[in-house]
Structures are given as structure tokens and as C-alpha cells.
């Protein structure tokens, strides 16, 4: 084929290319001739930018393949296998069963790899134990369901570098497999790709002395949670350079649970009786409350390591089997609640690093299977765990595959307890601290709130989004009524404080700026977990932003009308003087409050503005590992200033009170509906926050829509102080507009002395 294309040079310029692609593809092949080779060559002159050296291409033919190797092999080549295995009849057929293969499988080596070759890729690949691959993966490219035949690519990887690429000759085997219905095993013949070092054009399939055998265990246990197990070995002589010792492989604990569990597989408890005898503590608490059902999602666990090597990690634990049932996601909701007080249960647990760049075994994570009992009457989970142990190079060894000297104890809180309570427990190594396999304790807690609490939280979020819509809509109505009032009484706008209107306008504008992306793009704060259903939550958020924008525009229009009326008023000089006095008196108050917040932050960086009162903002902060300290400090300081800005917005009537006081105005500049309605809108979130705290609705993982702690002061004391101040300010405005701006002062301060010239008597001034 001949064609053309474009690429970019180092300086960003477009470079045209003219190429020819030569490729040989056979319609019929066997395993020895299954590789296809090709080359991409440049047709451009060598002196032009479009020229490039030839690029070799390699692939595997999928057409007209004939299985030859598996037909010629005798049963003695495979061995008898071990343990009960699942068949293909009840699992959707052969090819359906093979679909469970295509995942990452762990390799496990013998103990004598230091003196003998254990590398299935060949003796010349790498050197030493560290070069041994740790992971194998199967890639299916042809499966015959009727003949129970399959063609696979066997790909080897390093544990810390699991990369998926179509074909890497140095780490890929090509082969064919057949299903043995008597032993329920897949027998597989694999061949290396040779002659690829000089050029891929010379690569071919050779050295078909590698055998694989795998099965799907019918019975799982504490030390075998894997639904795929098998071996890889060489049929060469021990003294042959291509020989390697037998290597085992198995699916990881995580995959065994999260992948589809085959029909017919059972779990066998081996230490549950031993655990039951040692975990009888707590029976005297029977009847104190209701505890999570063993089949409920409340049994999921969150793991928080204390050890330094896992500081940048997090983990989770999930039930694997309960009683005689292996839990499968698709059937979990169909399980009936357990009637037994003490139930056998097993778990799989994992810890994964959050950062990249681990060079030791900690970078490979922490995998553990556990087995024991759960008491549904006391909420006590007691288990023995087996940790999958890797060497410092990340390899698994048969003689030290599991460390089962581990205890797991968890106390679940009662379903009737405070919603903020979580399960508490630990994973503890019972080995001596000097033992190489010892690890520091790992804290255990529930991964989320209880299901019934989550339902209440969904209801709370629906209520909050409704309250936000109502409050924003009412804000538009009250501002609209004030605009109507100014149109009906055109002499009143000049007597409205511009500082007050600026505060109100900014109060609507700042939330718009903070949520600009939420208005125009479908993006949400990823640090919050929203129980979103069907996209309605996102739609409601957008509606809230739109209503907020309408309120902002109406408020800005009111500010514009007031400013214009002040400019056209003949007596505006006195009004502007009063406005300046308002600025001179209120601005120091606002700046002083900001300085106090800044100094408090500087003296104690962990201090929030609300920490002077219980229930501070720190409950709503989210810790992010490995984030920059300076960025965290700036973000926290900005959040504190935003909270202080909400307090200024709550006291929006203060500039108007000062303006009436300085100008001694008796004009009814504000309509009752505007200042009283807006005052109640600013009060109600604090009253709701008191109710929310009383009901225990404060969860740091759930998004807050109404009474947002980021935009105002919220605590038990502030929730009382702010509404009282709001009512006081509204009462002062009412009195000033009825009795005069200085009616709130003592009588001797209400009148001002002014100098005035009077008419002359007999030519002399009096």
C-alpha cells in the first residue's frame, strides 16, 4: 500500500510524509508460520524532513489457522493436576470461561532461583532474581467454542510496570491450547519468538518446549482465594540453556473478588471454628442495639495504615463469602438477611500506594485474605488474616507466600447510634517486631455511612437544593419589589446607601465566580461525594446558578439606579458626604475583622475562623496527600476570608443604618418587603444549620448545598448571634425610617448645632 500523512517536527511545524507499506499475510498457517512481518518505508528524499528510516512491523495471523501441537501431545506431558476444578458446561461454554483469563496474574517462584534458571523468557533475559517477571497476562485472539480450542498470547511484565502493548517479542509467547474435559484443565503449548534482535522482519516462532496448565478451582479457602491457578514449565533437559524451573501463577485476591465468580465455586472455612472460640468476648452486650446485617454494604471497610511505608496509601476491605455463599455483586441484593447470631465470614483486603516512585516492596501494595466470624448481635468482627508477602524485589516465593500470623478485629457501631460514628478496629501482626514480616498496625473503619443514614442524607440533599432554589427565587422577588418601590417613589433612591448595595451585589456575584464552571460545564467538585441519581442533581445545580445570576443582575440594576439618582439629585453633596462617612466608619470595621482572621491564621495555621466556637470549618476540609503546603495554606486562608465575607453579607443593613445616622434621614428608602425579607433569607440558613447539627446530618463526604460553611460563619454560637443581629438591624431600620435616622441615639446627640447668619437690624448683623 502507498499513502501519505503528516507529523510535527520538534519546532512544531507540519511535515508531510509519503510512505509505502509492505506486508505479507498468509491465509493458512500453523503455529510455526503464524507470525506475519512487514515494513513501513519512506518514499521521500533522504535530504528532506519527511524522510525516516524503515520501521519493521510484526503481527500474528488469525486466518486459516490449524491446531497441530496440542493434537500431538500425550497425556503424560501434562500431569494429573490437583484439586477439584470447574467445568465448562455450567459456565456458558468454553470461550465464555476463557474470558476470565484475560487479566493480570501473579507469578510465584521456587526457592532455588538463585542457583537455577527460573525465567520463562529464557536464561539470557536479564540477570539475577530482580529480572524475573512478576506478572503474566493472557491475550486471546482466537477461540473455538465447538472444538474447545484457543489461541493465546502469553505476555510477561514486571510487577511495578504493568504495561499493555500488542506484541513485544522479547516478553511474549505465542501458542495454542485445548480443554481437557476429564480433568477440567486447559493445556497450553507456548513458543518463544526468536531472531527478533536484529530486525523484526526476521522474527519467527521457535522453541515450542514450554507448557502451561491452568484450572478454575471449585473450592476456595483462606490460602486460596484465586479463581485461576496454573503452572508454567519447560520440557527441556535440566542442563539445556532454555530450561527453567516450574513457575506457578494465580489471580490476585482483588481480581478473584471483583471479577465474575464462576458458577459452582464454593468456599471452605478452615480456621473459623478456631476464631469462634477465641472471639466470644462481647456476648454480654447482646440486645443493646441493632447492628449491620452481614449481607449489607455497611460491612465494607476502609483501611488507614499507620506505618510510615504506607503513609501515602489507602485501602479497603470487602466481604468475600458469608456462610456458604460467595458474594457476587450481581446477586448481593438478592440475599436474605441472616437469622444466625454468629456467622462465618471471609474478607479480601487491599492497600494501594497513592504516589508513584516506590522502589521497595511497599510500592506493590498490601493484599490479604481473612476468615473468621461476625456476631450480628454485638457487631464484633473477628478474623485471622493471611498477608500475601512479596520479597524486596516484588517477587512471590512458594516457601513464603502467605503470612497468616495476623489478627483482624472490628467493632461496628449500632444502627441506632450517632450517625457520625464509624466502625473501629485494627489489623495487627502477631509476629515479633524484629521479624521481617512484621508490620505496624493498620486502622480499620467503615468506608461510608450506614445505608439508612445515606437515605436520610439523600433526603437532606434534596431538601437543601429545594431550599436554595426557594431562597434564591425569593431574593429575586425581594429585589424586584424594591425596584418597583423605587419606580413608585422616585425620590427615595438617593437615600439608599451605595455601600449596602455593593455588599449585596458582591454577595450574589462571589458564588457565581466560585461556581462558574458548574454553570457552563458539567463539572463538579471531585473532592465531594454527591449521591447523584439520573443527573437531576447536576440539573438542579445549574438552575441554582441561573437563578443566582438573575438575582445578581437585579441587584446590580438597583445599584445602578441608586447611583444614577444620586448623580442627578440637586442635594447630592450632603448625601455623598454621608456616604463617605459610612465608608470611613465601616471600612475600618471590615478591615479590622480581616486582620484579626489573618493574625489568628498566622499564629495557628490549623485554626479556622470558627474554631473559637465548636463545629468549625475544619470538619469540612478534605486532606489531600502530597499536596503543596503553600497551596494548602493559601487555600485555607482564602476559605477563611470567604467565610468572613459571608458574615459581612449577613450584616448588610449596617451601612444603611450608618447612612441614616449621619444624614439624619427620615426617608423610607427601603421597602419593608426588601429589608425584612432579605434579613430572613440571611437568618434562615443559620436556623437550618442548628437543625442539621441536631439531626446529625453533617458528613464531610456529602456535598452541602444550603448553609454552606465555606461561605459564612456557622457554629452553634454564630447561628444564634447572627439571627439576633439581623433582627436588631431590621428593627433599627424600621425605627429610623419612621422616627428619623438619629432616633436610635440619646436625645442630647440627636440635634446638631449649626451657625447661620440672620438679617441685619439697623445695618448691623445680629
Q: For residues 234 and 213, what is the distance between their CA atoms, to the nearest angstrom? A: 12
In this prediction, residues 575-588 reach a mean pLDDT of 86
Model confidence at 329: pLDDT above 60: no
Q: How would residue 713 be classed by pLDDT, with cut points 50, 70 and 90?
A: low
Model confidence at 43: pLDDT above 90: yes
Decide: 230 and 254 in contact? Cβ < 8 Å.
Answer: no
Model confidence at 710: pLDDT above 70: no
The predicted-structure confidence for 455-472, as pLDDT tens digits, reads as follows 666 777 777 888 888 888
Q: How would residue 614 be classed by pLDDT, with cut points 50, 70 and 90?
A: very low
In this prediction, residues 720-737 reach a mean pLDDT of 89
- Where would I find the beta strands (DSSP E) of 235-312? 247-251, 266-267, 301-305
Model confidence at 613: pLDDT above 70: no
The predicted-structure confidence for 480-503, as pLDDT tens digits, reads as follows 999 999 999 888 888 888 999 998
Cβ-count burial 435-460 (b if 16+ within 10 Å, e if not): eeeebeebebebbbbbeebbeebbeb
Q: What is the pLDDT of residue 485?
A: 92
Q: How would residue 249 be classed by pLDDT, with cut points 50, 70 and 90?
A: very high
Looking up cell 475600618 gives 588
Model confidence at 598: pLDDT above 80: no
Q: What is the pLDDT of residue 160?
A: 56
Pairing of strands 442-446, 301-305: antiparallel
Share of the chain above pLDDT 70, in %: 72
In this prediction, residues 730-748 reach a mean pLDDT of 83
Q: How would residue 554 be classed by pLDDT, with cut points 50, 70 and 90?
A: very high
Q: What is the pLDDT of residue 476?
A: 92
The predicted-structure confidence for 270-317, as pLDDT tens digits, reads as follows 988 888 777 755 454 555 678 888 888 788 888 877 655 555 567 888
Q: What is the pLDDT of residue 173?
A: 92
Q: For residues 218 and 193, what is the distance between their CA atoms, to the nearest angstrom? A: 35
In this prediction, residues 685-714 reach a mean pLDDT of 67
Q: For residues 120 and 243, what is the distance between their CA atoms, to the nearest angstrom? A: 8
Most confident of 16-20, 130-134, 340-344, 416-420: 16-20
Looking up cell 510510615 gives 308
For residue 634, the Cα-to-chain-centroid distance in whole angstroms is 23
Q: What is the pLDDT of residue 189?
A: 92
In this prediction, residues 76-90 reach a mean pLDDT of 70
For the chain, residues classed under CATH 2.40.128 are: 272-448
What lies within 8 Å, CB to CB, of 765 at 6+ separation is 757, 758
For residues 262 and 633, the model is more confident at: 262
Residue 221's DSSP bridge partners are 224
pTM of the model: 0.63
In this prediction, residues 623-637 reach a mean pLDDT of 40
Q: What is the pLDDT of residue 517?
A: 43
Model confidence at 166: pLDDT above 70: no
Topology of domain 272-448, CATH: Lipocalin (2.40.128)
Model confidence at 354: pLDDT above 80: no
Model confidence at 626: pLDDT above 80: no
CB atoms within 10 A of CB 719: 24
Q: How would residue 647 be classed by pLDDT, with cut points 50, 70 and 90?
A: confident
Which of 170, 176, 142 lies closest to 157 in space, CA to CA?
A: 170
Q: What is the pLDDT of residue 224?
A: 87
For residues 540 and 699, the model is more confident at: 540
Tally DSSP H helices, then E strands, for the chain. 13, 24
The chain-wide mean pLDDT, for the chain, equals: 77
Q: What is the pLDDT of residue 331?
A: 44
Is 18 in a helix, a strand, or coil?
strand
Q: How would residue 443 be classed by pLDDT, with cut points 50, 70 and 90?
A: confident
Q: For residues 169 and 155, what is the distance between their CA atoms, to the nearest angstrom? A: 9
Q: What is the pLDDT of residue 370?
A: 93
Q: How would residue 145 be classed by pLDDT, with cut points 50, 70 and 90?
A: confident
Residue 555's DSSP bridge partners are none
Q: What is the pLDDT of residue 676?
A: 92
Q: What is the pLDDT of residue 634?
A: 46
H or E stretch covering 444? strand 442-446
Residue 62 C-alpha cell reads as 488469525
Amino acid at each position: 500500500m502507498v499513502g501519505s500523512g503528516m507529523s510535527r517536527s520538534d519546532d512544531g511545524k507540519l511535515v508531510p510524509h509519503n510512505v509505502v507499506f509492505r506486508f505479507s499475510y498468509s491465509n493458512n498457517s500453523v503455529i510455526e508460520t503464524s507470525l506475519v512481518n512487514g515494513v513501513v518505508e519512506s518514499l521521500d528524499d533522504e535530504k528532506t524532513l519527511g524522510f525516516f528510516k524503515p520501521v519493521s512491523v510484526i503481527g500474528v495471523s488469525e486466518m486459516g489457522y490449524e491446531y497441530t501441537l496440542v493434537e500431538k501431545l500425550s497425556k503424560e506431558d501434562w500431569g494429573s493436576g490437583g484439586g477439584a476444578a470447574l467445568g465448562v458446561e455450567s459456565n456458558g461454554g468454553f470461550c465464555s470461561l476463557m474470558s476470565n483469563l484475560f487479566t493480570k496474574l501473579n507469578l510465584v517462584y521456587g526457592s532455588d532461583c538463585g542457583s537455577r534458571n527460573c525465567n520463562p523468557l529464557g536464561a539470557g533475559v536479564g540477570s539475577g532474581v530482580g529480572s524475573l517477571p512478576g506478572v503474566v497476562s493472557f491475550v486471546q485472539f482466537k477461540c473455538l467454542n465447538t472444538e474447545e480450542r484457543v489461541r493465546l498470547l502469553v505476555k510477561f511484565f514486571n510487577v511495578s510496570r504493568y504495561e499493555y502493548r500488542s506484541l513485544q517479542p522479547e516478553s511474549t509467547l505465542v501458542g495454542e491450547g485445548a480443554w481437557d474435559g476429564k480433568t477440567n484443565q486447559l493445556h497450553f503449548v507456548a513458543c518463544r519468538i526468536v531472531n527478533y534482535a536484529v530486525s523484526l522482519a526476521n522474527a519467527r516462532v521457535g522453541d515450542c518446549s514450554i507448557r502451561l496448565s491452568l484450572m478454575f478451582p471449585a473450592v476456595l479457602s483462606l490460602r486460596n482465594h484465586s479463581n485461576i491457578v496454573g503452572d508454567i514449565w519447560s520440557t527441556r533437559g535440566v542442563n539445556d540453556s532454555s530450561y527453567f524451573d516450574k513457575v506457578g501463577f494465580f489471580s490476585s485476591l482483588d481480581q478473584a473478588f471483583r471479577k465474575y465468580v464462576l458458577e459452582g465455586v464454593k468456599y471452605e472455612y478452615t480456621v473459623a471454628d478456631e476464631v469462634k472460640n477465641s472471639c466470644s468476648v462481647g456476648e454480654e452486650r447482646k440486645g443493646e442495639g441493632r447492628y449491620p446485617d452481614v449481607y449489607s454494604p455497611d460491612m465494607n471497610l476502609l483501611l488507614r495504615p499507620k506505618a510510615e511505608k504506607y503513609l501515602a496509601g489507602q485501602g479497603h476491605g470487602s466481604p468475600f463469602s458469608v456462610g456458604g455463599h460467595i458474594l457476587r455483586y450481581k446477586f448481593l441484593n438478592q440475599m436474605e438477611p441472616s437469622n444466625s447470631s454468629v456467622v462465618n465470614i471471609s474478607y479480601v483486603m487491599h492497600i494501594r500506594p497513592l504516589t508513584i516512585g516506590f522502589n521497595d516492596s511497599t510500592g506493590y501494595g498490601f493484599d490479604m485474605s481473612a476468615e473468621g466470624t461476625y456476631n450480628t448481635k454485638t457487631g464484633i468482627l473477628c478474623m485471622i488474616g493471611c498477608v500475601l508477602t512479596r520479597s524486596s524485589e516484588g517477587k512471590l516465593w512458594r516457601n513464603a507466600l502467605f503470612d497468616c500470623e495476623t489478627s483482624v478485629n472490628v467493632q461496628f457501631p449500632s444502627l441506632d447510634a450517632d450517625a457520625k460514628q464509624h466502625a473501629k478496629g485494627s489489623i495487627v501482626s502477631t509476629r515479633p517486631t524484629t521479624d521481617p514480616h512484621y508490620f505496624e498496625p493498620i486502622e480499620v473503619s467503615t468506608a461510608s455511612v450506614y445505608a439508612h443514614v445515606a437515605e436520610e442524607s439523600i433526603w437532606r440533599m434534596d431538601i437543601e437544593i429545594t431550599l436554595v432554589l426557594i431562597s434564591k427565587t425569593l431574593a429575586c422577588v425581594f429585589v424586584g419589589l424594591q425596584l418597583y418601590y423605587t419606580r413608585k417613589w422616585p425620590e427615595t433612591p438617593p437615600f439608599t446607601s451605595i455601600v449596602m448595595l455593593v455588599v449585596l451585589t458582591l454577595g450574589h456575584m462571589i458564588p457565581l465566580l466560585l461556581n462558574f464552571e458548574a454553570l457552563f460545564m458539567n463539572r463538579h467538585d471531585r473532592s465531594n461525594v454527591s449521591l447523584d441519581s439520573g443527573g437531576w442533581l447536576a440539573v438542579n445545580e445549574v438552575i441554582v446558578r441561573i437563578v443566582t445570576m438573575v438575582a445578581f443582575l437585579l441587584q446590580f440594576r438597583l445599584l445602578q439606579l441608586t447611583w444614577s439618582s444620586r448623580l442627578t439629585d440637586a442635594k447630592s453633596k450632603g448625601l455623598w458626604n454621608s456616604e463617605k462617612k459610612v465608608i470611613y466608619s465601616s471600612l475600618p470595621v471590615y478591615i479590622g475583622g480581616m486582620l484579626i482572621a489573618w493574625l489568628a491564621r498566622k499564629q495557628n495555621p490549623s485554626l479556622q475562623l470558627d474554631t473559637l466556637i465548636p463545629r468549625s470549618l475544619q470538619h469540612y476540609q478534605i486532606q489531600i496527600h502530597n499536596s503543596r503546603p503553600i497551596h494548602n495554606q493559601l487555600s485555607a486562608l482564602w476559605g477563611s476570608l470567604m467565610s468572613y465575607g459571608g458574615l459581612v453579607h449577613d450584616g448588610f443593613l449596617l451601612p444603611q443604618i450608618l447612612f441614616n445616622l449621619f444624614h439624619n434621614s427620615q426617608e423610607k428608602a427601603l421597602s419593608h418587603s426588601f429589608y425584612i425579607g432579605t434579613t430572613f433569607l440571611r437568618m434562615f440558613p443559620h436556623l437550618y444549620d442548628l437543625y442539621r447539627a441536631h439531626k446529625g446530618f453533617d458528613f464531610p463526604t456529602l456535598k452541602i448545598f444550603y448553609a454552606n460553611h465555606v461561605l459564612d460563619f456557622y457554629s452553634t454560637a454564630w447561628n444564634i448571634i447572627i439571627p439576633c443581629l439581623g433582627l436588631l438591624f431590621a428593627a433599627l431600620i424600621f425605627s429610623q425610617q419612621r422616627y428619623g435616622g438619629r432616633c436610635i441615639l440619646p436625645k442630647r446627640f440627636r440635634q446638631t448645632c449649626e451657625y447661620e447668619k440672620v438679617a441685619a437690624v439697623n445695618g448691623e448683623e445680629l
